[in-house]
Amino acid sequence: MLRRRGGLVRTVGRTAVVAGTASAVAGRVNRRQEEKYAQSAEPAPPPEPAPAYAEPAPAPENDVTAQLQQLAQMHDSGVLSDEEFANAKAKLLG
């Protein structure tokens, strides 16, 4: 019985040493990574100021014109039938 108890104590002791070593190594690795990150991290540049004026939006007519031209190209290439083209054109023109 004493022989078993001695083996058990040694096993528990070895396990404690291994666990303690693993914990120490993990802690050291974490500290090194944090130090490396802290050294390499640069502060973010300040945001660029917004322009003093807003650029005007494109005129709605130009947008409608561009959409009509696109529909016409689709109709010419055969993607849209005559009926589909007429319906899409009516929607755009209101």
**Is 80 within 8 Å of 89 (Cβ atoms)?**
no
pLDDT at 81: 92
Please report, rounded to a whole number, the percentage of residues in the chain having pLDDT higher than 90: 13
Q: Is residue 85, in this structure, part of any structural domain at all?
A: yes
What is the extent of the structural domain holding 14?
1-41
- Examine the pLDDT at 76 and tell me if it is beyond 90: yes
pTM of the model: 0.36
Query: Does 65 lie in the same domain as 31?
Result: no
Stretch 12-26: mean pLDDT: 70
Stretch 4-26: mean pLDDT: 68
Torsion 62-67-68-72 (CA) sign: positive
Tens-digit pLDDT profile for residues 40-75: 766 667 778 777 776 666 665 668 888 888 989 999
Q: Is residue 64, in this structure, part of any structural domain at all?
A: yes
* Residue keyed to tokens 């291994």: 18
